[in-house]
Structure 1
């Protein structure tokens, strides 16, 4: 029986709990080991409080982010909320970012340029948590409650994310549309793809380079170093979704930097290319090789192959180009179909396992440095 993966909570939920714990101490001195926070959609969640520190008229709450069994750059790091009271004629709650919270420098994100990278949903969640706490312990409070979210290690953590490419500088973003982290959810990756396309479009770009991971991205940039960083998007296994988003965002040209395994899956029309969900049909791949006139003994070996790389390496040198072109032609048709047969131009750049670019469009010139 497979182990059930443990859920966690988002940076937005962590910040909400830290703020609520600080408010509780600020108004009645009560320190809680656990805080019940409101979730963005519905329901509540209990989150442990690491510590609360009072300094005059301000209080700092600290929560350790727990991403559950989902790999996350912020997992195990401390999320702070510094809360202080300022004079005002009526109740006002302001949320801002301090140390370790990035600032938005490019348009296209849900947060305006110049503001702290605290997305709208977690911002509303933090305010809702503050209002919930005030309604229980200080219902008559009138004044400005200032909440400053900080992550001491935020600038270092941000280097493990795509924030700088999105124009978020100086730290991490506070994220979370559901408040709960569900392990290996596709939602966050899809949101990242869509957001990256928004940023590129807002910068006036209508050409995008989808990569299947960091290595294919680095190899593409080695050959085309003039490529704008914000046009590089790690689409991973999301073939159909990425093409749909490219059409939706008005992209004119889509390029895929890819290895043979993913190219074969694109050619087979898999909407999502992860191995555990979509396995290569080696009989079909062998049939395609037969259509290219390859020898019968090779076709038989292709049917028994276990990886696309194995098939690729068995293809004779004098048939390699035709083999790759066949796959690209089929992949191109599927890409166009996923984008609604739009006018989006699709190009493929194939890298081998030594990092050499073995296929690129005829019209495309490689960098002389490659």
Structure 2
């Protein structure tokens, strides 16, 4: 018996969504039912999150040797690049069980992703969900192909090419549910990137707060291969924990003043929703660096961290930048413990100049 639909919104009033893996499992189950002569308009599957969830069939097409079913992914109020995409399963009877990737599903080309090199990028939990879903319908051997039309183009907007997933998207999900504003898919890809780097022999990585800071970091750290550069966004804490878990020895954090200021304030999740920049902290560092009364007065009314940077640049206050990265480094090192070794570098906004780094400025060019 199907569990009722769970509340469509969480406690904060935001809609939950469902992962690519959950949609693939539901599509596979609907196709298996159609193989047995039914015409399902809706199917329900068990989610690892802890309930049975109905999914409405978007497309059902009977082919010569099987059935194609498509579901439209709804990621709720935390939409990613696959929100609104059609997740398809083509299911047919076979001599033995087989699960493959079709159009728009990438192929794993590097170790460290939990899926053997050369196989479709369908992660372990979605694989299990797919087989559990079809086994509710039939015990007969099945050949299942998961496809995401347009997935190859969508994948260019993800970390997949850097992770070594080529030709399309990954079929992801550990709970089946996308929690609003958790950015869970991005967090997972960041953690995976750390694992891939280590699985390919790297002991040193550079974690950046965005695409622009990543480009700057590549110029500042030319001794590192491309795989070592990980765009972590706001998830500095997750990167450090993942690095510790897999045995990365050195994590170099490269970013601009807004995110670095939050790290200096002890935050390990630097999203804007996590709180404003601590202007009192920046003002204190500016005073310690010897800022003029004029600069301090203007800083008291500054609305952004960037304005503090501009004032420090105007007065040539390198100690302000050094004090900031030192505090950020000490906070992050205290958070993660002795290993990995953490280094923090601050860049400007336009040229990617390294304004300061701690404790090993000499490693960074420029």
TM over 0.5, shorter chain: yes
Q: Secondary structure at the match of 1:110?
A: coil
Q: Which moved more, 1:8-17 or 1:236-245?
A: 236-245
1:298 aligns with 2:295: yes
* Aligned-residue offset at 1:296: 3.4
The residue aligned with 1:74 is 82
1:101 aligns with 2:105: yes
1: CA distance between counterparts of 2:341 and 2:304?
29
Q: Which moved more, 1:273-282 or 1:203-212?
A: 273-282
Q: 1:187 to 1:73 in 2, by over 3 A?
A: closer
2:124 is matched with which residue: 103, 120, 125?
120
User: Structure 1: 5+ residue runs without aligned partners?
Assistant: 135-140
The residue aligned with 1:208 is 205
1: CA distance between counterparts of 2:274 and 2:296?
25
2: CA distance between counterparts of 1:365 and 1:272?
25
The residue aligned with 1:351 is 347
Tell whether the 8 Å contact from 1:40 to 1:179 is kept in structure 2 after alignment.
yes
User: Structure 2: 5+ residue runs without aligned partners?
Assistant: 1-10
1:333 is matched with which residue: 330, 353, 356?
330
- Deviations for 1:301-347, whole angstroms, at most 9, x for unmatched residues? 3232221111121225444211111111111111211111x143333
Q: Secondary structure at the match of 2:74?
A: coil
2:155 is matched with which residue: 139, 155, 158?
158
1:234 aligns with 2:231: yes
The residue aligned with 1:130 is 134
1:247 aligns with 2:244: yes
The residue aligned with 2:66 is 58
1: CA distance between counterparts of 2:158 and 2:204?
22
The residue aligned with 1:22 is 31
TM-score normalized by structure 1? 0.89
How do 1:210-225 and structure 2 match up within 5 A? 210-224=207-221
Q: 1:26 to 1:229 in 2, by over 3 A?
A: same
1: CA distance between counterparts of 2:278 and 2:49?
41
* Aligned-residue offset at 1:102: 1.0
The number of equivalent residue pairs is 353
Q: Which moved more, 1:43-52 or 1:356-365?
A: 356-365
* Aligned-residue offset at 1:171: 1.1
1:83 is matched with which residue: 78, 86, 91?
91
Tell whether the 8 Å contact from 2:31 to 2:89 is kept in structure 1 after alignment.
yes
Q: Secondary structure at the match of 2:274?
A: coil
1: CA distance between counterparts of 2:153 and 2:313?
48
1: CA distance between counterparts of 2:263 and 2:198?
25
Tell whether the 8 Å contact from 1:104 to 1:114 is kept in structure 2 after alignment.
yes
- Aligned-pair Cα RMSD in Å: 2.1
* Aligned-residue offset at 1:300: 3.2
TM-score normalized by structure 2? 0.90
Q: Secondary structure at the match of 1:133?
A: coil
2: CA distance between counterparts of 1:148 and 1:178?
22
Q: Which moved more, 1:198-207 or 1:92-101?
A: 92-101
- Greater C-alpha radius of gyration: 1
Tell whether the 8 Å contact from 2:354 to 2:364 is kept in structure 1 after alignment.
no
Tell whether the 8 Å contact from 1:13 to 1:179 is kept in structure 2 after alignment.
yes
Tell whether the 8 Å contact from 1:208 to 1:254 is kept in structure 2 after alignment.
yes
Tell whether the 8 Å contact from 2:325 to 2:346 is kept in structure 1 after alignment.
no
- Deviations for 1:230-262, whole angstroms, at most 9, x for unmatched residues? 211122122333223222222222111201111
